[in-house]
Amino acid sequence: MQEMLTKNTTHTLTITGMTSEGLGVGRLGQMAVFVPHAAVGDTIEVLLTKVLKNYAYGKMIRVLTPSQTRILPDCEQFPLCGGCVYRHISYEEELRIKEELVKENFYKIGHIQIPFEPILPSPLLDGYRNKAQLPVGYTKQGALTCGFYQKRSHRIIPNTSCLLQPKAFGPIEREILLHMKEYSIPPYDEETRKGVVRHIYLRRGESTGEIMVCIVVTGKTLRKSDILVSRLHALDKNIASIVLNHNPKNTNVILGEECTTLWGKDSIEDVLCGVNIQISPLSFYQVNRQGAQKLYQKAAQYAALTGSETVLDLYCGAGTIGLSMAKSAKRIIGVEIIPQAVQNAQENARINQIQNAQFFCEDASGAASRLAKEGIRPDVVVLDPPRKGLTPQLIDAVVQMAPSRVVMVSCNSATAARDCAVFVQNGYAPKRACACDLFPRTAHVECVVLLEQEKENLHAR
């Protein structure tokens, strides 16, 4: 009989694995113990902070024998700031962990065997994010600041020099804070629901250099915004758009539905896989452009288009995946639920002189059912759902449309594995898969899977 573990006791623990959230895992007898900021191969002294029936959480007191994979974290805010989880291990190790986790999810959750290609690394490890959304508030000492919420809290860890964001963002963030101080513009307080500025939200088109400054406010205006506009303009000539987003609601959701352009354009531009892309404050756009290009190239390779195919791009955002495939297809149909993103997609098609793409603003499941009923028979369906994955209704409708290939892109391999398993039950064979790292130093990882209709394969033989 194993000795019972109790809270607040210390133990020696060897870390043997990593969870999908980036917690180190070790074993004390039958118990799995999860420890933040540990590395596989570490032997550590751990203090148990929470003990449950089959597992426990611990806090690292000290490293007794460090893992070979450890490196010195190069950010002062790590690990306090909740942004990065992997600044203490080498990038090779991070890739190994991510690849293993994705594979494991397909084997353990989906119960499917797929030949995996080696994980695609991100071309940039720092400065890769083209978007920053920083809450504004006060530090414990009462100083106005912006930064990141500490993990599982709403305490802001000041950070205007995050290594993951472009270097140009820090000075803009500081300029906005300065303006708020000078004109006594209070940050929004979630508890009292008073105050004005909720978030500083910045986006950058990497290939054009254009920057969008968006300030999320509770009301309709920002005090002395004309002065802020001229200040920002003097600070950085790459700023092409300055926007207020209005979010009066008592909610955790960062953006409200309406925007007012204070100065410049309503959207900025970037080039992704050779396609000019308009980015508006509300449209989804991959945060790591160079990583996304590798991911979309892999998706295109799996789609194997010859020019005669109809491609249905579900959850299409600003249309990026479909538009990057438009030249090699006969027809592209995109579906996306956010109206502004659909407008962007249509605009993107227009400015790229792509005439064979159409976009619908609809729920993907509803649209798939409708298109199936209307007799649309795409050759390839591209799926890129949010983290929660697909609905049974959507999978049903796609199966009814009987595409010969389904290319599933996902930021959550657990739900992707679950959904692929349903396709497999419906006659699709998992042919190839590849993990792709779009989010270095964080626990997130993308994957892309190719499913082929088996009947057609038989037919082809």
Residues annotated as catalytic (active site), given as ranges: 411
Please state, in angstroms and rounded to a whole number, the distance separating the CA atoms of residues 36 and 82: 11
Give the one residue of 81, 222, 321, 325 binding ligand SAH; rule: CB under 6 A. 321
Instruction: Identify the CA nearest to 443 among candidates 34, 159, 33.
Output: 34
Q: Is 410 helix (H, G, I), strand (E, B) or coil?
A: strand
Please, which residue, 58 or 385, has the CB nearer to ligand SAH?
Answer: 385
User: What is the CA angle 290-292-295, rounded to 5?
Assistant: 120
Total residues contacting ligand SAH by CB under 6 A comes to: 16
The residues in 369-388 that bind ligand SAH, with binding defined as CB under 6 A, are 384, 386
- Nearest approach, Cβ of 382 to ligand SAH (angstroms)? 8
User: In Å, what is the CA distance from 282 to each residue of 133, 245, 291, 327, 343?
Assistant: 12, 9, 21, 27, 11
Please, which residue, 67 or 267, has the CB nearer to ligand SAH?
Answer: 267
Q: CB within 8 A of 7, min separation 6: which ones?
A: 48, 49, 50, 51
Please, which residue, 39 or 371, has the CB nearer to ligand SAH?
Answer: 371
Please, which residue, 148 or 284, has the CB nearer to ligand SAH?
Answer: 284
Give the one residue of 316, 342, 436, 448 binding ligand SAH; rule: CB under 6 A. 316
Contact 405, 303 (CB under 8 A): yes
Contact 257, 339 (CB under 8 A): no
Give the one residue of 67, 165, 267, 286 binding ligand SAH; rule: CB under 6 A. 286
The residues in 332-371 that bind ligand SAH, with binding defined as CB under 6 A, are 335-338, 341, 363-364
Please state, in angstroms and rounded to a whole number, the distance separating the CA atoms of residues 65 and 67: 7
Please, which residue, 288 or 453, has the CB nearer to ligand SAH?
Answer: 288
Please, which residue, 84 or 299, has the CB nearer to ligand SAH?
Answer: 299
- Nearest approach, Cβ of 14 to ligand SAH (angstroms)? 39
User: In Å, what is the CA distance from 441 to each residue of 92, 152, 235, 420?
Assistant: 11, 18, 30, 27
- Nearest approach, Cβ of 206 to ligand SAH (angstroms)? 14
Contact 408, 448 (CB under 8 A): yes
- Nearest approach, Cβ of 372 to ligand SAH (angstroms)? 15
Tokens standing for residue 261:
């352009």
Tokens standing for residue 407:
């290319």
Element (H, E) at 28: strand 24-28
Tokens standing for residue 260:
């007012």
Question: Could you give the dihedral angle defined by the CA atoms of residues 100, 101, 103 and 104, in that order, rounded to the nearest 10 degrees?
Answer: 110
Among the candidate windows 35-43, 163-171, 317-325, 438-446, which touches ligand SAH by CB under 6 A? Answer: 317-325
Instruction: Identify the CA nearest to 294 among candidates 448, 190, 431.
Output: 448
User: In Å, what is the CA distance from 180 to each residue of 18, 189, 215?
Assistant: 42, 15, 11
Q: How far apart are the first and last CA of the chain?
A: 58
Instruction: Identify the CA nearest to 390 among candidates 406, 370, 372.
Output: 406
Among the candidate windows 66-74, 138-146, 155-163, 310-318, which touches ligand SAH by CB under 6 A? Answer: 310-318
Give the one residue of 22, 24, 205, 317 binding ligand SAH; rule: CB under 6 A. 317
- Return the residue nearest ligand SAH (CB atom): 317
Please, which residue, 186 or 386, has the CB nearer to ligand SAH?
Answer: 386
Among the candidate windows 152-160, 244-252, 329-337, 452-460, which touches ligand SAH by CB under 6 A? Answer: 329-337
- Nearest approach, Cβ of 50 to ligand SAH (angstroms)? 34
Residue 394 contacts ligand SAH per CB under 6 A: no
Please, which residue, 322 or 430, has the CB nearer to ligand SAH?
Answer: 322
- Nearest approach, Cβ of 277 to ligand SAH (angstroms)? 9
Contact residues: ligand SAH, CB under 6 A = 284, 286, 315-317, 320-321, 335-338, 341, 363-364, 384, 386
